[in-house]
Amino acid sequence: MRFLVVRADGALQPCSMQFWQYPLTERGRMIEEFTSTNRCDECSVSIRSYLDKSFHQLLGENFFSFNSGETSQG
């Protein structure tokens, strides 16, 4: 009920691991067909944005990678 994917074409996809697609105008149908029957509780894909990590853990990882001097540019 809290997460969904908004595709580049504007369609809604209730889960990045489920390939059901709904136009924005049919979000009520998406809730009825997918959300109300979805029982998955073990999501580990990027849609969760690492919410299982604590704030301090995320801060530390991002701070050290930012200050390490590494760049993605050659």
Q: How confident is the model at residue 42 (pLDDT cuts 50, 70, 90)?
A: low
Identify which has the larger pLDDT, 67 or 63. 63
Angstrom distance (rounded) from CA 15 to CA 34:
9
10: helix, coil or strand?
coil
Domain map of the chain by residue range?
5-67
Examine the pLDDT at 68 and tell me if it is beyond 80: no
pLDDT value at residue 23: 93
Of the candidates 4, 11, 7, 36, the residue with the CA atom closest to the CA atom of residue 25: 11
61: helix, coil or strand?
helix
Q: What is the mean pLDDT of residues 22-40?
A: 86
